[in-house]
């Protein structure tokens, strides 16, 4: 063997591995870029891909729909569904979709109208006191013909300048006790000392002017009874013994006084009555039933009219017959 051949056989083949390279962090060995890229590509091929979870179509439709949920029954019945997002509105089958109502809606309550409570006048609300509501349903606007009751209602109408109806109704028993059940003959004898004792828990029942007016009006009622036979005949004579039936639809239409009230007020003042202005007189006419000011929608409007037809009209007809018989008897004696 030649020397040249020995030298070639003794020389070791150069390794294909890369030599060490000084990196920025120190004397660390790193492979060249080419093998690294090959290794990374192999790793990426061997590494399983992340699977993106598929969102069910029903959830997507629910998120895009106007309503939060849709009924399966409405879908199966072929009704179109309206899908609305922030950009566009999708129509299916070329037909304008109808709004889908969730399943939890009570269709019976949705379709049927609630009849609601009994209709009353506008000044009676669901928050009104039960005593005030009962007063409206049972007394206000009902014709009154008893002199004591008319005197009581006249006093209450005068007291409205200082109190409201609810306060008066709460103290009605006290009023009746202190005014001796509103007997005009008894109240007419009240002295100034007696008026000073008319108090509730140390507070005067009414102002001194109103208390003096009550006593003075009681005296005038006695004179009216002597002239007209009763205070009732005097009061009802202004309306021809027949209640005035107004037909107001709204509470704002109800007046606080009328020409008829002004006429009655002047006549009362002419006879010596006190604190009987047109407003007081009209309140008295309303509560005593001389005028029916229940609104047309109020159930009491028709009931008051029915009561008048059944009870009051025969009474006045009997009184008219008796009056004619008495006049004929007097003329025959002459």
pLDDT in tens, the chain (334 residues): 554 555 455 555 544 444 444 334 444 444 444 555 555 555 555 555 555 555 555 544 544 444 444 444 444 444 444 444 444 544 455 555 554 444 444 433 333 444 567 899 999 999 999 999 999 999 999 999 999 999 999 999 999 999 999 999 999 999 999 999 999 999 999 999 999 899 988 899 999 999 999 999 999 999 999 999 999 999 999 999 999 999 999 999 999 999 999 999 999 999 999 999 999 999 999 999 999 999 999 999 988 887 665 554 445 445 454 545 545 544 554 4
**In which residue are the tokens 């009605």 written?**
172
Confirm whether 168 is domain-assigned. Answer: yes
Q: Is residue 69 part of a domain?
A: no
pLDDT value at position 110? 38
Domain count for the chain, please give it.
1
Q: Does residue 53 belong to any structural domain of this protein?
A: no
270 is in an annotated binding site: no
The boundaries of the domain holding residue 168 are: 130-296
User: Is 275 annotated for ligand binding?
Assistant: no
Q: How far are the Cα atoms of 244, 256, 310 from residue 250, in angstroms, in the given order?
A: 17, 14, 27
pLDDT at 277: 96
Task: Say if residue 241 carries a ligand binding annotation.
Answer: no
Question: What pLDDT digit, counting tens, does each position of 218-230 carry?
Answer: 999 999 999 999 9
- 52 is a domain residue: no
What is the residue whose two structure tokens read 């005949």? Answer: 233
Q: What pLDDT shows up at residue 73? A: 46
In a domain, 24, yes or no: no
Q: Is 252 left (phi over 0), alpha (psi -120 to 50) or beta?
A: alpha
254: nearest Cα among 308, 216, 301: 301
pLDDT at 118: 84
Is there a domain that residue 27 lies in? no
235 carries a ligand binding annotation: no
Check: CB of residue 3 under 8 Å from CB of residue 10: no
The tens digit of pLDDT for each residue in 120-178 reads 999 999 999 999 999 999 999 999 999 999 999 999 999 999 999 999 999 999 999 99
Residue 212 sits in a domain whose CATH number is: 1.10.340.30
pTM over 0.75: no
For 30, residues 6+ apart whose C-beta sits below 8 A from its C-beta are 21, 23
CB count, 10 Å around CB of 268?
Answer: 23
With respect to residue 260, please indicate whether it lies within any of the assigned structural domains.
Answer: yes
Question: In the prediction, which pLDDT does 306 show?
Answer: 78
Residue 24: per-residue pLDDT: 40
> Would residue 178 count as lying in a domain?
yes
- Let me know how long the chain is: 334
């Amino acid at each position: 063997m030649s020397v040249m051949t020995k030298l070639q056989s003794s020389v070791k083949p150069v390794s294909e591995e890369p030599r060490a390279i000084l990196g920025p962090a120190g004397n660390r060995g790193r492979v060249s870029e080419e093998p690294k890229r090959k290794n990374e590509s192999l790793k990426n091929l061997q590494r399983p891909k992340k699977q993106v979870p598929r969102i069910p179509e029903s959830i997507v439709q629910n998120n895009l729909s106007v309503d939060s949920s849709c009924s399966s029954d409405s879908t199966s019945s072929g009704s179109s569904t309206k899908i609305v997002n922030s950009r566009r509105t999708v129509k299916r089958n070329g037909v304008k979709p109808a709004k889908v109502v969730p399943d939890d809606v009570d269709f019976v309550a949705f379709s049927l109208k609630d009849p609601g409570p009994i209709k009353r006048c506008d000044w009676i609300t669901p928050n009104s006191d039960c005593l005030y509501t009962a007063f409206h349903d049972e007394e206000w606007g009902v014709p009154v013909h008893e002199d004591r009751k008319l005197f009581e209602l006249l006093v209450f109408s005068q007291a409205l300048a200082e109190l409201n109806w609810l306060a008066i109704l709460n103290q009605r028993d006290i009023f009746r006790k202190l005014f001796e059940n509103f007997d005009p003959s008894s109240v007419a004898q009240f002295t100034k000392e007696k008026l000073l004792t008319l108090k509730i828990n140390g507070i005067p029942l009414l102002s001194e002017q109103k208390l003096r007016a009550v006593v003075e009006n009681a005296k005038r009622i006695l004179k009216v009874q002597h002239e007209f036979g009763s205070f009732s005949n005097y009061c009802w004579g202004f309306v021809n013994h027949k209640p005035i039936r107004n037909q107001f639809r709204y509470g704002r239409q109800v007046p606080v006084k009328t020409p008829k009230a002004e006429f009655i007020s002047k006549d009362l003042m002419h006879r010596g009555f006190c604190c009987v202005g047109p407003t007081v007189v009209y309140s008295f006419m309303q509560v005593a039933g001389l005028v029916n000011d229940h609104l047309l929608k109020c159930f009491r409007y028709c009931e008051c009219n029915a009561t008048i037809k059944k009870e009051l009209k025969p009474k006045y007809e009997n009184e008219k017959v008796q009056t004619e018989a008495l006049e004929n008897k007097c003329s025959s004696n002459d």
